[in-house]
Amino acid sequence: MSLYGDYDPKNIFAKILSGDIPCAKVYEDARILSFMDAFPQAKGHTLVIPKVSARNLFDIRCEDLQNLIAHTQKIGRAVRSALEPDGIRIAQFNGEAAGQTVFHIHFHIIPAWDDAAPRAHASGQMADMAELKDLASRIKAKL
Ligand code: AMP
């Protein structure tokens, strides 16, 4: 059912947007925020979210979605330059059955290396904030 329904203004990403929960910020402008995933599937796992209240791909206005994916490409390029992975997965989930755990639309940028298997999605292993901030500043430097 989580594919349907109203936007919850108390979701974790809404709290990050309002500054109530801290994040390791990579990029921010009037419409977009990007930060490091706190439970990364791989080193450099970065999230890109819009500053509009949309649960998923089907709720968001087309114009906001275009802006979101354009920024995912731009920030993904910076992740590529900063970390030089062998591959990068771009992921986006809609509804709990599909793996979505935070109901504010977002794109995942997940670097991949030939010799390292990624951790499972939503594995619950929290990263060290200092390490995330260091990664964020390396990515920011390439924007
Ligand atoms: P999804 O499961 O596609 O909805 O993705 C939500 C992502 O948010 C997961 O990869 C979580 O690891 C990540 N996440 C959850 N809480 C936080 C947080 N406080 N700061 C940063 N990332 C988070």
| pLDDT class of 2 with cuts at 50, 70, 90 | confident
Residue 3 lies in a domain: no
Nearest one of 122, 3, 12, 97 to 55, comparing CA atoms = 3
Helix (H, G, I), strand (E, B) or coil at 46: strand
| 126-136 mean pLDDT | 96
Dihedral sign, CA of 56, 25, 12, 80?
Answer: positive
**The pLDDT value given to residue 110:** 97
H or E segment and range at residue 90? strand 87-91
Centroid of ligand 1 to alpha carbon of 45 (angstroms): 10
Q: What is the model's pLDDT at position 87?
A: 97
Residue 115 is assigned to a structural domain of this protein? yes
pLDDT in tens, 41-70: 999 999 999 999 999 999 999 999 999 999
pTM for the structure as a whole: 0.97
How far apart CA 59 and CA 6 sit, in angstroms, is 10
**What is the CA angle 127-131-137, rounded to 5?**
125
Judge whether 2 lies within some domain: no
pLDDT tens track for 115-124: 988 788 877 7
Residue 118 φ/ψ, nearest 5 degrees: -70, 150
Residue ranges lining ligand 1, Cβ < 6 Å: 12, 21, 23, 37-39, 93, 99-102, 122
- The pLDDT of 65-94, averaged and rounded, is 98
Is 121 labeled as catalytic in the residue annotation? no
Return d(Cα 77, Cα 126) in angstroms, integer.
25
With respect to residue 136, please indicate whether it lies within any of the assigned structural domains. yes
- Look at residue 7 and tell me if it is in a domain: no
**Number of neighbours of residue 30 by Cβ within 10 angstroms:** 5
Residue 58 domain flag = yes
**Pocket of ligand 1, candidates 20, 36, 39, 135: which has the most ligand atoms within 8 Å of its Cβ, to mutate?**
39
Residue 102 structural domain: 12-140
Say if 6 falls within a structural domain.
no
CATH number of the domain where residue 127 is located: 3.30.428.10
Structural domain total, the chain: 1
Residue 1 forms part of a structural domain:
no
Pair type for strands 87-91 and 107-112: antiparallel
